[in-house]
């Protein structure tokens, strides 16, 4: 059998390989080269075109752009662009899934462009919005004159506003944070002014009320200097407010409120003192008049006048006795039995106590004593008689009750004789029989 030349050469090669006794040397293998993706060209298949499918990377790029636009409030500032971007993305996915990815890529490109434009418009809108918010706050602050009432604080706020406007165009996050701080500063500025002017308004209301009360009490008569000082302080506060000086205005108004209140209080005190003094003098005069009356007690005992003058007591230095208040439930004061000689002495005693309380400044207690004293004066006066008449022995014209009543010095009317009889019934048993020497009580007509 003939062996071909080719077969012989194969055998020899195998023999040489099998006879090797040492392994081949180790050769360093270089790292594989990064092969850039090569655009796949359409390949004709059965007369059609095979297209490369849409990749996740392509879709995710558009989705990321849409998300960025949404986070920048694209729905507010660029709703049409954002809506177009989303619709184009959905259309691209639909075309990619139905075997027409190349057409889908056109919609992806449109969606990406719309999303980027929406982001750009949204960022510009955000900047504009922050600027508008700061401008609005500034105008509000100016409308209540914070620049005049609180100029230093206003300058700080307006300075930060200008800084924030500049920063918004170069560093939006930093500009946004500073803008928020500016808005807070304007809000605090307006609130501070509102609190201070509100306090002034409340004080002015108090002043007006107190001055009206002072006028009703006629304080201009009792405490004219205090009232004038209150009015002066009020006008000082008003002038300072017109000059936008809050601290000086508040100080002046506070002083005016204090003085107006003092005018009311001092007027009341002085009026109370004057009213008590008038009541004291009135009671004193009534006691003095009563002391000059002739009275007849329940037993028809005649008591002659006991003239009394209270002015001597007032001239003396008033002692400092312990305050003795009358009962507040309206019950009459019951004096010790030793002092209850007559109603007049009781009235005097109460008057003395009232004077003591007045000198201590206890005007309500003093008034109570004086009024109680007047009650006893009235009781004493009820026992008084106009005059006494002594029955005379006149042979040619004997006294009779009707003749006594007829005298012009008595009633001037004989028909009034029953008044005399009724008042003297304990003495006159028979009105037709009276005796010379009898003293008859002549009651008031």
Whether residues 257 and 237 share a domain: the answer is yes
Whether residues 304 and 242 share a domain: the answer is no
Whether residues 377 and 297 share a domain: the answer is yes
Q: Which helix (H) or strand (E) element contains residue 52?
A: none
Arithmetic mean of pLDDT, 169-174: 86
Arithmetic mean of pLDDT, 227-238: 97
Q: How far is CA 290 from the centre of its chain?
A: 58
Q: Over the stretch 322-352, which tens digit does the pLDDT of each residue have?
A: 333 333 343 334 333 333 348 999 999 999 9
Q: Is residue 338 part of a domain?
A: yes
CA angle 116, 111, 117 (to 5 degrees): 20
Whether residues 214 and 296 share a domain: the answer is no
Q: Over the stretch 59-80, which tens digit does the pLDDT of each residue have?
A: 999 999 999 888 878 888 889 9
Whether residues 347 and 367 share a domain: the answer is yes
Whether residues 348 and 394 share a domain: the answer is no
Inter-residue contact 369 to 351 (CB < 8 Å): yes
Q: Give the whole-angstrom CA distance, residue 410 versus residue 231.
A: 64
Whether residues 335 and 379 share a domain: the answer is yes
What local confidence, expressed as pLDDT, does residue 204 receive? 97
Q: Give the whole-angstrom CA distance, residue 193 versus residue 153.
A: 11
Which of 127, 144, 176 delimits the end of a domain?
A: 127
CATH for 401:
3.10.350.10
The conformation of residue 316, written as its DSSP 8-state character, comes to: S
Spell out a b/e string for 358-394, using b for 16 or more CB atoms within 10 Å of the CB, else e. bebebbebbbbbbebbbebbeebbebbbeeebebeee
Whether residues 297 and 255 share a domain: the answer is no
Whether residues 436 and 410 share a domain: the answer is yes
Domain that holds residue 394: 387-442
Which of 127, 146, 170 delimits the end of a domain?
A: 127
- pTM of full prediction above 0.85: no
Q: Is residue 399 part of a domain?
A: yes
Q: Is residue 178 part of a domain?
A: no
- Confidence at 303, pLDDT banded by 50, 70, 90: confident
Q: Give the whole-angstrom CA distance, residue 193 versus residue 397.
A: 102
Q: Is residue 156 part of a domain?
A: no
Q: Is residue 171 part of a domain?
A: no
Which of 92, 127, 162 delimits the end of a domain?
A: 127
- Position 12 pLDDT exceeds 60: no
Q: How many domains does the chain have?
A: 4
Range with the poorest average pLDDT among 15-19, 78-82, 349-353, 427-431: 15-19
Whether residues 377 and 310 share a domain: the answer is yes
What local confidence, expressed as pLDDT, does residue 4 receive? 42
Arithmetic mean of pLDDT, 210-216: 96
What local confidence, expressed as pLDDT, does residue 423 receive? 85
- Confidence at 50, pLDDT banded by 50, 70, 90: low
- Position 282 pLDDT exceeds 60: yes
- Position 196 pLDDT exceeds 80: yes
What local confidence, expressed as pLDDT, does residue 286 receive? 94
- Confidence at 49, pLDDT banded by 50, 70, 90: low
- Position 38 pLDDT exceeds 50: no
Q: Kind of pairing, strands 48-50 and 43-45?
A: antiparallel
Range with the poorest average pLDDT among 28-37, 323-332, 386-395, 435-444: 323-332
- Burial class of residue 213 (count of CB atoms within 10 Å of its CB; 0-12, 13-18, 19+): middle
Percent of the chain residues past pLDDT 90, beyond the cut: 59
Q: Give the whole-angstrom CA distance, residue 440 versus residue 424.
A: 7
Minimal CA–CA distance to 153: which of 178, 195, 182? 182
Question: What SS3 class is residue 387?
Answer: strand
Cβ atoms within 10 Å of 260's Cβ, excluding its own: 27
Q: Which helix (H) or strand (E) element contains residue 296?
A: strand 294-296
Minimal CA–CA distance to 158: which of 176, 138, 175, 139? 138
- List beta partners, residue 327: none
Q: Over the stretch 172-189, which tens digit does the pLDDT of each residue have?
A: 889 999 999 999 999 999
- Position 14 pLDDT exceeds 50: no
The conformation of residue 41, written as its DSSP 8-state character, comes to: P
């Amino acid at each position: 059998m003939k062996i071909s030349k080719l077969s012989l050469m194969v055998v020899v090669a195998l023999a040489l390989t099998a006879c090797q006794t040492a392994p081949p040397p180790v050769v360093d293998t270089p790292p594989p080269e990064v092969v850039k993706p090569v655009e796949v060209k359409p390949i004709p298949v059965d007369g059609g075109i095979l297209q490369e499918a849409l990749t996740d990377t392509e879709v995710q790029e558009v989705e990321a752009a849409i998300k960025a636009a949404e986070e920048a409030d694209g729905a507010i500032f660029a709703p049409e662009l954002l809506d177009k971007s989303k619709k184009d993305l959905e259309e691209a996915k639909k075309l990619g899934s139905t075997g027409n990815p190349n057409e889908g890529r056109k919609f992806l490109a449109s969606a990406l462009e719309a999303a980027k434009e929406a982001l750009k418009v949204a960022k510009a809108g955000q900047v504009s919005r922050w600027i508008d918010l700061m401008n609005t706050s500034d105008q509000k602050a100016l409308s209540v004159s914070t620049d005049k009432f609180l100029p230093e604080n206003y300058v700080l706020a307006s300075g930060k506003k200008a800084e924030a406007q500049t920063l918004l165009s170069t560093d939006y996050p930093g500009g946004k944070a500073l803008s928020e701080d500016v808005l807070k500063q304007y809000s605090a500025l307006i609130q501070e002014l509102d609190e201070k002017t509100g306090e002034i308004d409340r004080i002015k209301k108090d002043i007006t009320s107190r001055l009206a009360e002072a006028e009703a009490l006629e304080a201009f008569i009792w405490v004219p200097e205090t009232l004038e000082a209150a009015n002066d302080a009020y006008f000082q506060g008003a002038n300072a407010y017109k000059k936008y000086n809050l601290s000086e205005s508040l100080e002046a108004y506070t002083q005016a409120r204090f003085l107006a209140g003092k005018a009311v209080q001092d007027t009341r005190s002085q009026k109370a003192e004057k009213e008590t003094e008038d009541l004291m003098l009135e009671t004193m005069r009534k006691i003095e008049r009563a002391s000059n009356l002739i009275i007849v007690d329940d037993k028809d005992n005649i008591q002659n006048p006991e003239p009394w003058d209270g002015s001597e007591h007032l001239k003396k230095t008033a002692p400092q006795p312990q305050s003795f208040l009358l009962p507040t439930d309206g019950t009459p004061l019951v004096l010790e039995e030793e002092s209850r000689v007559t109603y007049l002495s009781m009235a005097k005693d109460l008057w003395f106590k009232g004077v003591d309380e007045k000198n201590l400044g206890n005007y309500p207690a003093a008034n109570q004593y004086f009024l109680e004293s007047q009650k006893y004066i009235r009781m004493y006066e009820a026992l008084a008689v106009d005059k006494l008449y002594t029955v005379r022995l006149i042979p040619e014209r004997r006294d009779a009750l009707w003749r006594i009543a007829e005298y012009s010095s008595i009633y001037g009317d004989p028909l009034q004789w029953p008044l005399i009889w009724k008042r003297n019934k304990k003495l006159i048993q028979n009105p037709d029989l009276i005796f010379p020497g009898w003293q008859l009580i002549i009651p008031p007509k």
